[in-house]
């Protein structure tokens, strides 16, 4: 159904709120991670294991592949008692983008699923029919109510502070490859109704060489209701330098619903990561693609000791009450994303 009235009183909680579980989609896409498939799967299993230290993990995975995937989790020493498998076939592994976006009622505490249209980042990577069906499958598995949202959007394009603000990018939601003819005003009306927010903040675009056209979760993330971390590139010759500086200037102009200014904390960029002959000239590696879980923050690292250490320290300062854990994503990022892209939180 598509009934915004059913969403009255609901909002998308901030990621640092209590979580019931993290949802993932096991990497099964043929041809993905060429030349480092085994390494990427090992890194993925390590990610699952890290999450399982802190909370339950729920994994979309075709039944025929579950036994082999389970063996990888045994090797990674995951808490198997906290892992639940769902026989939900997928086309790709980026659960942040094709998975459900959960909302919660402010008074009753009911959790419901919003089901946005998904078209594989502007029809770049056919097919996507199985991925687009995941929210409905999850709703059925959890016996949750579900509301279909009449707009294409990926979870990685939406960042909320849990206090009335959603942050997004024009280059994704207003892109003709997602929503042809959709105006900013129309998009804002949908976002307000579906996510329970008052303010929609737009950045113009994201990093060059990004399959997603500029997801917010590679750029700028809320760490509390009034503070963001945002990626900056110190190299003025970098093709992303001007975009990131413009983003910072735009963030400085935004005003919170109470009129206050946003606190802006810079995050470093890793040194450019190249894969000769690959579809992306520079891989979209950033430290903003971290995942907040119960009691911890899981942060992608890229085998660059100095910048990895700086990013981990900066995020530790932002999350003094959580354990900050670095996880090697050098192989995972070959396919265009990291930890946040792979995962979707279900609020408690």
Q: Which of 61, 318, 329, 341 is the catalytic position?
A: 341
- Catalytic, 36? Answer no
What distance lies between CA 178 and its chain's CA centroid? 18
d(CA 345, CA 104): 12
**Three-class SS state of 21:** strand
Q: Across the chain, where does the E strand assignment appear? A: 10-11, 19-25, 57-60, 83-86, 101-105, 111-117, 146-152, 159-160, 165-169, 199-203, 220-224, 227-231, 263-267, 291-293, 296-301, 323-328, 343-347
**What backbone phi and psi angles, to 5 degrees, belong to 215?**
-60, 140
Contact 218, 209 (CB under 8 A): no
Strand 165-169: give its sheet, edge to edge. Answer: 159-160, 165-169, 199-203
**Helix residue spans in 23-110 (DSSP H):** 37-52, 63-75, 95-98
Contact 223, 320 (CB under 8 A): no
Residue 156's nearest CA partner among 289, 305, 304 is 289
d(CA 315, CA 219): 14
- Please tell me the total number of residues recorded for the chain in this structure: 348
In this structure, the number of other CB atoms found within 10 A of the CB of residue 76 comes to 18
Supply the residues annotated as catalytic.
341
């Amino acid at each position: 159904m598509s009934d915004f009235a059913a969403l009255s009183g609901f909002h998308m909680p901030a990621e640092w709120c209590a979580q019931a579980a993290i949802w993932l989609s096991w990497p099964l896409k043929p041809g993905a991670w060429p030349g480092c498939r085994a390494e990427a799967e090992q890194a993925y299993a390590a990610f699952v294991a890290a999450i399982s230290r802190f909370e339950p993990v729920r994994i979309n995975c075709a039944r025929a592949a579950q036994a082999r995937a389970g063996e990888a989790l045994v090797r990674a020493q995951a808490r198997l008692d906290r892992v639940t498998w769902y026989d939900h076939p997928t086309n790709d592994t980026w659960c942040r983008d094709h998975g459900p976006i959960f909302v919660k009622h402010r008074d009753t505490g009911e959790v419901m699923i919003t089901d946005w249209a998904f078209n594989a980042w502007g029809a770049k990577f056919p097919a996507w029919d199985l991925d687009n069906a995941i929210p409905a499958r999850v709703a059925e598995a959890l016996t949750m109510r579900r509301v279909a949202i009449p707009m294409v959007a990926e979870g990685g394009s939406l960042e909320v502070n849990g206090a009335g603000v959603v942050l997004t990018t024009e280059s994704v939601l207003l892109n003709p490859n997602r929503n042809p003819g959709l105006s900013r005003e129309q998009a804002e009306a949908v976002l307000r109704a579906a996510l329970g927010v008052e303010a929609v903040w737009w950045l113009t675009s994201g990093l060059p060489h990004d399959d997603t056209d500029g997801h917010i979760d590679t750029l700028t993330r809320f760490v509390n209701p009034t503070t963001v971390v945002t990626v900056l590139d110190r190299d003025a010759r970098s093709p992303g330098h001007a975009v990131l500086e413009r983003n910072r200037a735009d963030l400085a102009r935004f005003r919170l619903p109470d009129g206050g200014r946003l606190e802006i904390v810079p995050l470093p960029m890793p040194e450019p990561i190249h894969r000769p002959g690959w579809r992306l000239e520079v891989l979209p590696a950033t430290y903003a693609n971290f995942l907040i879980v119960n009691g911890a923050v899981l942060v992608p690292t890229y085998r660059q000791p100095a910048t990895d250490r700086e990013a981990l320290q900066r995020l530790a300062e932002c999350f003094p009450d959580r354990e900050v854990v670095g996880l090697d994503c050098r192989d995972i990022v070959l396919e265009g994303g990291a930890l946040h892209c792979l995962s979707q939180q279900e609020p408690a």
